Amino acid sequence: MFVLVNLKAYPCDPVAVAEAAASVDSGPAEVAIAPQAADLSAVADTGVQTWAQHVSPVEHGSHTGSTLAEAAADAGATGTLLNHSENRLKLADIDGSLAAADRVDFGTCACANNPDQIRAAAALGPDAVAVEPPELIGTGTPVSKADPDIVRDAVEAAESVDPSVDVYCGAGISTGEDVVAARELGADGVLLASGVAKAEDPAAALEDLVAPL
């Protein structure tokens, strides 16, 4: 199982969370951290797998405020989230950001709200898609419990387009039980944020996430 922890813009210590992730015996799980762009280098220096929260659909040039894929790669990132519900993109821009990620050989995960959007995102050829109903994000109620059919249908939707695209389960993931439930519904990984980023003890939170695996 792939466990991607998105630190968003939470007031946490990204290096401390990254060090916790690097110290956890993840067993069969693969843990990655997605910090703010300014923290990519510091997080990557801990040795943990580091993902950008976004890369822009641009190349070198006059693109003030953009996140250039090459800059994220130079800072130590090896993958990127795209189209998170808090940073929605047009379909053409998702396609452009995937092309930017391909230039630097990034792993990619395109987020979507529901199975229909998962189908559209999978057709663009990311490495993975993540189904995240926005109303459950940050609630502590995982979609695997609130509406498990969304996860099952997302897996089927991605498979119908491209069986090589992995499916991650996001929104409300916070415990190892949630991770196991996602796996049993067919997900290849999970995407979470507050369950680790807001935890008093990130290492303990991460241990709890991966221990049942």
CA-wise closest residue to 154 among 136, 129, 125: 129
Q: DSSP characters for 129-180? A: EEE--GGGTTSS--HHHH-HHHHHHHHHHHHHH-TTSEEEEESS--SHHHHH
H or E element in which residue 157 lies? helix 148-161
Distance CA 36, CA 51 (A): 9
Q: What letter represents residue 165's amino acid?
A: V
Rounded distance, CA 52 to CA 71, Å?
10
Which pair of structure tokens corresponds to residue 8? 């968003």
Distance separating alpha carbons of residues 167 and 158, to the nearest angstrom: 7
**Candidate list 30, 59, 60, 84, residue with the active-site label:** 84
Catalytic residue among 30, 60, 70, 132: 132
Active site residue 132: yes
Q: Describe the crossing of helices 148-161 and 115-122 by its angle, rounded to 10 degrees.
A: 30
Catalytic residue status for 84: yes
Give 188: exposed, middle or buried? Use CB within 10 Å, 0-12, 13-18, 19+.
middle
Report, as residue numbers or ranges, the catalytic residues.
84, 132
